A and B are shown apart, each in its own frame.
Chain A
Amino acid sequence: MIVAILMPFLIAMCIPFIAKFKYRIHTGYAVFVTSLSLFLYFLVLLISGETNILYRYSWIPSLGLDLTFYTDGLALFFALLISGIGALVAFYSIFYLNREERLGSFYVYLLLFMGAMLGIVTSDNIYALYTFWELTSVSSFLLISFWFTRKASTDGALKSMLITFIGGFALLGGLVLLHLVTGTTSIREILTQGDLILTSDWFPLIVVLLLLAACTKSAQFPFHIWLPDAMEAPTPVSAYLHSATMVKAGLFLLLRFTPVLKESEAFFIAVSIIGLVTLFWGSYMAVRQTDLKGILAYSTISQLGMIMAMIGYGTEAAIFAAIFHILNHATFKGSLFMAVGIIDHETGTRDIRKLGGLWKLMPVTGIISILASFSMAGVPLPILNGFYSKEEFFSSSWDLTADRAFSTDFAAVLANIVPYVAVAGSIFTFVYSMYFYFRTFTGKAEKDTAEKAHDPKFGMLASPVLLVSGVLLISIFPNWFSRHLLQPAANAVYGETMKEHSIHFWHGLVPAFIMSLIVVALGIVLYITRKYWTVLYNVLPGKLSGNIVYASLLSASEKQTKVVNDRIVNGSIRQYNAIIISVISIVTLVILFGTNSFDLRNIDTSPVSLPQSLPELAVAFIMIAAAFGSTVSQKKLTAVIILGVVGYGLSILFVLFRAPDLALTQLSIETITVVLFLLCFRHLPEMEQERKEKRSKKITNIFIASLCGLMMMLVGLAAYSQRLFPSISEYFVKYSYKLGGGDNIVNVILVDFRGLDTLFEITVLAIAALGIYSLIKLRQKGGDR
């Protein structure tokens, strides 16, 4: 069963090989078949009609990390949407994308997205949910920048990524808090602990973080600015990611946690306000756009705001309507995007000012568009599903005060205002829908665009036609969809079984219908008179725009990053060394003192008896003096010879401390080293320039060096004072003769017990020798010097 969730990823791995044959068979067919089979699979699950655990795999149980997939009504609803629209979009893209394009990459990204999105909706583990969430952002980034040679594409991709990643971080924070509060990482278990979450001190922060995640992902005001720029993606991507599925991930997140969140009044206030403001602002801005996809982008923003508002209401009717509208929006907006793709493909432009009169040239596209855009506008006709869900929206807004009790005045007042705002926001929805349709398909076009345009091949039309027939089907059999698809999803969201909703076209002259009529009437007036009021846009937004904030933040952060980067990564290895050494020293010191690692009782503090220890002390003084001398000496010869003194001093210490082998080795090696130094001498310049070093720099270096020395001393003391285990040396002393057959224990360790170490040591020497040899040879053959 895990195969179903991971199938997109698996197929994505095969795509590069399939893409090799793209001239023989378009790579899109593989993706189409994949998503179609997924769609059928989820359809079967839906018919079986129960919550299914698909798969469970415990990865790190102690951290609560596992991979559990399950499907309830909500997950299945979204999974069907993702795979169904995915199949249509894949089929559409076969005709949209030329075979010269990088089809392999495109479909890998698309499958990556599909898999990640399915992961989001079916994951039970919150961290798995987060991972898939970020994966959708990544694949969205890759798809927006698919035509990466265009600056607008990469800019749009960057913007979407930055904004959605901010939301991703917020999501992670919110989920971690949920984990802390409830002590579980399973979403289903978290949802059973609603009271614990609601009464927790962290609850406000959790709500804020989850909202931030949902609002950035679902393009809610003021984070909506990335969505219009994301329209630089190929149109199938816009239809799929940026209207039907990915932008609904934020809604899904809130729906998933609705059983808990709906109890909170603050959640109602925040989400309703955000949703209604977005609804209004998105539709208001849509009328101003000249790019067809721009209109659709703002329209998507506004529709998402409307769904958001309904989630905020949290009443039964509103949740049901929200889910209903998610489905409807996917059908009509998906087909509109595909229609725009066709127009773009055929006429070569998406600029609404250049288009017009396409009705005669592209009748099929025209029919698709009129049905879809009228459905979006909520025109009261029994064949337009947009009208049904808009009615539900109005009635849930109207009934809000009756359906839900509010404890604070503010919430109660807000609930009273809500219906009016809902109407006001929807008027512009009507206006831009009309604007979209009539400006494109009626009137006159520029000559050159009009001549070549015609309806495309059947293949390209198939997907939008299917989606639009979805619009019709849903409208004609709303209750069938309601019973089998929406009701289970709404139950899963609501956490309890709600009463059956039946959807009718005609409810009588109820408030909702009157609201619809007001919207249509005012919408028509506004559409006709739009010439006179579009000056409004110079005042609002005028120059006010989230984009300005975004741009200034971006450029400021770029500048600051460069400043910091230039300061730290400046190419000076000395400085890197200084930083590394000081950080190591400081961190070690802090840890040593922080954990109180010194146990002075164990240290042999008996005073050193002078006559006996005189040799050691003398040697130690000589070594310190020599180290100092070689450090300050300006002559390289002096420095090297005095360095030798340190080495010889060390070998004397080895003798005194009864390590004869070490003493011998040290003595011979030190001699060879000094000789080597002298050999290289002639070629290395004198060291006098060091005096020119700045005084401050010198002091800093001395400070760092002392710090490091001090740190090593304290580490030594700490290690020396704490002997927790007996030394393993006993073993070597005991068995040296028995197992190794030698009296000299050190030798036996080296060649016998730890023989492999010695082998590698020799290997290191051999490599060093090879390196030295080649470095010298390089000189002889180099020629240039």
Chain B
Amino acid sequence: MEIIMIVLAGILFGFAVYNILQKRLLRIIIGTALLSHAAHLFILTMGKLKRGAAPVLVDGTENYTDPLPQALILTSIVISFGVTSLLLVLAYRAVKTNGTDNMEELRGNDHD
């Protein structure tokens, strides 16, 4: 099962990178969102999947899934939410100010 999830994470990474390399700001934001999904899945997989009960202590259960990756991912989900929303507003401002969301047009001048 882990191998399947690693492959899935890899594919998501691929799509994320492809999106990040696009011209439009919205595409890039979609790319970063995909990237964080992929990373979360990746981290979770590293802690082995389905090898025990959910990490909530219950009398009589000895085996729990690894709680550490989950704690890390929880933090990461919230942060990536912050990143995505900031990027969205940034893109919105960039479009308002520059009249374009095309990265090829959003370059500095040659001699700034």
Chain A residues near B (Cβ < 8 Å) = 570-574, 577-578, 581, 603-605, 608, 613, 616-617, 620, 623-624, 627-628, 630-631, 636, 639-640, 643, 646-647, 650, 653-654, 656-662, 665-666, 669, 672-673, 676-677, 679-680, 683-685, 687, 689-690, 693, 701-702, 704-706, 708-710, 712-713, 716-717, 719-720, 727-729, 732-733, 736-737, 743-746, 749-750, 754, 757-758, 761, 764-765, 768-769, 771-772, 775-776, 778-779, 785
Contact = CB atoms under 8 A, between A and B. Distances in A.
B103 A572 contact: yes
Contacts of A574: 21-23, 103-104
Contacts of B97: 785
A646 B45 contact: no
A749 B12 contact: no
B45 A631 contact: no
Contacts of B15: 627-628, 630-631, 705, 709
Dominant SS among interface residues on chain B: helix
10 contacts: A604-B3, A605-B3, A623-B12, A661-B74, A677-B88, A693-B23, A716-B46, A733-B55, A744-B57, A761-B78
Given A627-B15, A673-B81, A758-B75, A604 B23 contact: no
Given A571-B110, A749-B68, 9 more contacts: A608-B4, A616-B1, A623-B12, A665-B78, A669-B77, A705-B14, A709-B13, A733-B55, A750-B75
Nearest to A656: B50
Interface in B43-65: 44-47, 49-50, 52-58, 64-65
A743 B25 contact: no
A687 B10 CA distance: 26
Dominant SS among interface residues on chain A: helix
A244 B32 CA distance: 63
B11 A624 contact: yes
B20 A577 contact: yes
Given A616-B4, A669-B77, A701-B18, A680 B66 contact: no
A571 B88 contact: no
Given A709-B14, A771-B86, A627 B34 contact: yes
A623 B7 CA distance: 12
B46 A719 contact: yes
A764 B33 CA distance: 17
Given A653-B41, A683-B96, A705-B14, A659 B65 contact: yes
Sorted nearest first, the 7 A-B pairs with minimum C-beta distance are: A709-B14, A713-B10, A705-B18, A768-B82, A571-B107, A716-B6, A749-B71
Interface in B91-112: 91-93, 95-97, 100-104, 106-108, 110
Contacts of A577: 20-21
Contacts of A665: 74, 77-78
A776 B86 CA distance: 11
Given A574-B21, A620-B4, A647 B37 contact: yes
Contact of A764 (B16, B82, B93): B82
A650 B37 contact: yes
A779 B79 CA distance: 25
B68 to A, nearest CB: 5
A745 B64 CA distance: 10
Nearest to B84: A673
Interface residues of B, number: 86
B71 A754 contact: yes
Contacts of A716: 6, 9-10, 42, 45-46
Given A571-B108, A716-B45, A761 B67 contact: no
A695 B4 CA distance: 32
A574 B10 CA distance: 21
Nearest to B53: A658
Contacts of B85: 673, 676, 768, 772
Nearest to B3: A603
A713 B56 contact: no
A639 B26 contact: yes
Contact of A624 (B8, B24, B107): B8
Contacts of B46: 716, 719-720
B35 to A, nearest CB: 10
Given A650-B37, A720-B6, A708 B68 contact: no
A511 to B, nearest CB: 67
Contacts of A761: 75, 78-79
B88 A676 contact: yes
A749 B67 contact: yes
A689 B104 CA distance: 12
Contacts of B95: 683-685
Contacts of B44: 653-654, 657, 659, 662
Contacts of B40: 650, 662, 666
B19 A631 contact: yes
Nearest to A673: B84
A727 B79 contact: no
A785 B30 contact: no
A348 B39 CA distance: 73
Contacts of A581: 17, 20-21
* Most chain B Cβ neighbours within 10 Å, of A624, A685, A704, A746: A746
Contacts of A768: 82-83, 85-86
Given A627-B12, A669-B77, A604 B2 contact: yes
B65 to A, nearest CB: 5
A689 B100 CA distance: 12
A665 B71 CA distance: 11
A785 B96 contact: yes
A743 B107 CA distance: 53
Nearest to B18: A705
Contact of A657 (B50, B64, B81): B50
Contacts of A746: 55, 67, 70-71, 74
A744 B78 contact: no
Contacts of B33: 643, 647, 673
Contacts of A623: 8, 12
Contact of A661 (B1, B11, B70, B102): B70
A778 B93 contact: yes
Nearest to A736: B57
A460 B58 CA distance: 94
A705 B26 contact: no
A701 B21 contact: yes
Contact of A733 (B1, B3, B45, B67): B67
Contacts of A578: 21
Contacts of A775: 89-90, 92-93
Contact of A712 (B13, B68, B100): B13
Nearest to A701: B21
